[in-house]
A = this chain, B = another copy of it.
Amino acid sequence: MKCLIIAAGKGSRLKQKGDSKPLLPLLGIPLIERVIRTALEAGVEEFYVVTGYHGERVSDFLDQLAQRLEIQITSLVNDDWEKGNGLSVLKAREILQEPFLLLMADHLFEPSIARALTELHLSNDEIALGVDGDIRNSLIDMEDVTRVNSTGGKIHDIGKGLSDFNGFDTGIFQCSPAVFQALEQSIEKNNDTTLSGAIRILAAEGRAKAIPVNGFWLDVDDPADFKRAEQVLLGRLRDKPNDGPISRYVNRPISVLFSRYLVKFDVTPNQISLFSFLLSVVAAGLFALGGYLVLVLGGILAQLASIIDGSDGEVARLKFQSSDFGGWFDAVLDRYADAFLLFGLTWHLLVNQGSRLVLLIGFMAIIGSFMLSYTADKYDNLMRERIKTGTKGGLRMGRDVRVFIIFLGAVTNLVLPVLVLIAVVMNLETLRRVIVARD
């Protein structure tokens, strides 16, 4: 399905942030790029963007974006951008002669909402609007939102001033070309150049559907909206079901702050992974020196590296840079980092205690933490499911917990007990997996 995006308005309430609203970077990515990339995730392949205020700057950016993402984006110009947004929609009249997805450059949303709209089958003379029925939605600016009154899936009325309403206009539509006739009618008869005007005409004839949608969407109009959008996007990074307890309650809250800062720069997730790895190597080197002060310093660095290791994935998600290679590269570096840290601690003990027996303990800790990753990843989904099912009663010590224990051990100078603990727990857990997988 093709997609029309309206990016013509001035956005004067966000002037302090920058002169062109579609190009305003939100967590490192311009609003219009966020909308386009979210629509891509929802399955859209071809874009038409109506520009107006600072139109050339916007269309220059879109040309670059089209090249970078290897997609098709066509810019249309609306010189009457100061009038109602319906005129911008009309600019696509000659081009879009089949049903299309209609989006606003300043409305952020989850891909699932756009997908719900694209998957509809409308008859020729209908349009459909995604309507948020949660009228207590705390992200909504009640002064500014367009309100919708609908029953039985049909819109009765739509407008900002509505006192009788049961939902909000998310700004996400599927339109048939009937919308163009309705716009002309609205301009001619009512002298109303807004899109809402056309929807009212269609609604009066029972041709405007209300599609209930769930999930995040937000109209970014002023600095307060902007901040809310940042908070929601950052907050969602903390919802990772696979996070261990230390990740969830210690590392993630800090790494999100790092990520918020890092997205402003041209730093890739893989560079962050590599930096975290190098920090771990330095930490291991400090461990190996043997003194208590460097031990503490190494422990702090190791924990810091573990925190920063959360940022690579966060930045990737915030900047649409997630990749299979990125996840794999991060995992490979983590295995090296694990081994270096444990080897550093082993060397520390060897320097301080001299007994070669610590080598055996260090070796078992290194092999055990390796095996934990290996047994988890080695096999296909079937085997992973078996292990997972059996994990309920198992010992869970993910990388986050392991590094945190190393940090605690370093600070408290209890290196030997930490190595013994890791060696015992990791190898016992591997043994348990062998038993569980066997059935």
Given A336-B371, A359-B347 in contact, is the A378-B331 Cβ separation under 8 Å? yes
* Chain A 318-348 interface 0/1 with B at a Cβ cutoff of 8 Å (1 = within): 0000001100110110011001000100010
Task: Give Cα A350–Cα B362 distance, bound, in whole angstroms.
Answer: 15
Q: Is A300 among interface residues, defined by CB-CB distance under 8 A?
A: no
Task: Give Cα A258–Cα B373 distance, bound, in whole angstroms.
Answer: 33
Q: Is A438 among interface residues, defined by CB-CB distance under 8 A?
A: yes
Closest B-chain residue to A328, C-beta based?
Answer: B379
| A324 and B363 contacting across the interface, CB-CB below 8 Å | no
Q: List, in ascending order, chain B residues with CB within 8 A of A366's CB.
A: 339, 363, 366-367
Identify which of B324, B336, B370 contacts A335 (C-beta below 8 A): B370
Task: Give Cα A373–Cα B371 distance, bound, in whole angstroms.
Answer: 11
Q: List, in ascending order, chain B residues with CB within 8 A of A328's CB.
A: 375, 378-379, 383, 437
Task: Give Cα A373–Cα B379 distance, bound, in whole angstroms.
Answer: 12
Closest B-chain residue to A350, C-beta based?
Answer: B356
Task: Give Cα A359–Cα B343 distance, bound, in whole angstroms.
Answer: 9
**Chain copies in complex:** 2
* Chain A 62-101 interface 0/1 with B at a Cβ cutoff of 8 Å (1 = within): 0000000000000000000000000000000000000000
Task: Give Cα A377–Cα B384 distance, bound, in whole angstroms.
Answer: 13
Task: Give Cα A377–Cα B359 distance, bound, in whole angstroms.
Answer: 28
Task: Give Cα A382–Cα B325 distance, bound, in whole angstroms.
Answer: 10
CB distance from A277 to the nearest CB of B (A): 12
| A371 and B335 contacting across the interface, CB-CB below 8 Å | yes
Provide the main secondary structure of the chain A interface.
helix
Q: Is A249 among interface residues, defined by CB-CB distance under 8 A?
A: no
| B332 and A371 contacting across the interface, CB-CB below 8 Å | yes
Q: List, in ascending order, chain B residues with CB within 8 A of A383's CB.
A: 324-325, 328
Task: Give Cα A65–Cα B239 distance, bound, in whole angstroms.
Answer: 52
Which of A325, A328, A359, A371 lies at the interface centre, i.e. has the most chain B CB atoms within 10 A of its CB? A328
Q: Is A374 among interface residues, defined by CB-CB distance under 8 A?
A: yes
Closest B-chain residue to A373, C-beta based?
Answer: B374
| B430 and A332 contacting across the interface, CB-CB below 8 Å | yes
Q: List, in ascending order, chain B residues with CB within 8 A of A367's CB.
A: 335-336, 339, 366
Q: Which 7 A-B pairs have the closest CB atoms?
A: A339-B367, A377-B378, A328-B379, A370-B370, A343-B363, A325-B437, A325-B438
List chain A positions with a Cβ less than 8 A from chain B.
Answer: 324-325, 328-329, 331-332, 335-336, 339, 343, 347, 350, 356, 359, 363, 366-367, 370-371, 373-375, 377-380, 382-383, 430, 434, 437-438
Interchain Cβ contacts under 8 Å between A and B, 11 examples: A324-B382, A325-B383, A328-B379, A332-B375, A335-B371, A336-B367, A339-B366, A359-B359, A366-B366, A370-B374, A377-B377
